[in-house]
Amino acid sequence: MPNDRTIQEALQWASSFLAERKLEQPVGELLLRHYLQVNRTHFLMMLQEPLSNAVWNQLASDLEQHAQGVPVQHLIGYEVFYGRRFKVNGDVLIPRPETEELVEVVSERAQKLFQERTIQVVDVGTGSGAIAITLALENAQMNVEAIDISPQALKVARENARSLAADVTFIDGDLLSPYVSSKSKVDVIVSNPPYIPVRDEGELAVHVKEHEPHLALFGGEDGLDLYRRFMTELPQVIEATGLVAFEVGIGQAQTVCEMLSTAFPHAMTEIKRDINGKERIVLAYGTMTNS
């Protein structure tokens, strides 16, 4: 491609390429801004400037990979979550916008429940560390720990914590087993566990199915295996006054809410909808003892 073509022409070409393949057109702008290392305002001011052959070729190569299923986040190496860049790769789930709402709800409920005192928080199945790191950075009174069963995921999470200067302790473990073993108690347990039913694998988009870790995606035949395991461990770990917050899949909220009501009969339970109106967050809070 000749190098007298402008950024705007590159953007138009990328948009056409993506539209023809029924892919999201903003990917073209995202890639170009990544190569040029500029924000959107600066990018729009540069549209009439020429684009080098090297960047044209990079754009063409990355769009071909994206068309074959590679997530754009893997091409640029990060996803923005709560306004911060989190490194992502094939070892961790790419943080979704809906999970930002889980962070907001946990912050709001925890502040009401525990007022100004230090709050002991654990994020279970932390992946990239997005939930744990964001909670730690947004809430000075939270002492945050994070667990994952994947050493590769923990490596990514630790890198993100370092780059974002977040004080989070990372633990290698399966669900809450490290706390059960040590008889430790915490105030808040938050988790976005694997919840996609195995039977739905064939319906997943190729960029999810082939490029994100199955360990972080699938929760057994009906998607609820991890929640069932949680119900046996949660009562052993949560303080007498506490908060449990889960992200759940489509159609799972009522079932998970009933599980929490059974495990914590004196607690308040609540289902919250996400920005798309889907039941996405399930909470139990208040009195967490059975007596």
User: Binding site for substrate, residues?
Assistant: 192-195
Binding-site residue ranges for S-adenosyl-L-methionine: 125-129, 148, 192
Spell out the SS3 assignment of the chain: CCCCCEHHHHHHHHHHHHHHCCCCCHHHHHHHHHHHCCCHHHHHHCCCCECCHHHHHHHHHHHHHHHCCCCHHHHHCEEEECCEEEECCCCCCCCCHHHHHHHHHHHHHHHHHHCCCCEEEEEECCCCCHHHHHHHHHCCCEEEEEEECCHHHHHHHHHHHHHCCCCEEEEECCCCHHHHHHCCCEEEEEECCCCECHHHHHHCCHHHHCCCCHHHCECCCCCCHHHHHHHHHHHHHEEEEEEEEEECCCCCHHHHHHHHHHHCCCEEEEEEECCCCCEEEEEEEEECCCC
Tokens of 128: 């990239």
- Neighbouring CB atoms inside 10 A of 38's CB total 15
Binding-site residue ranges: 125-129, 148, 192-195
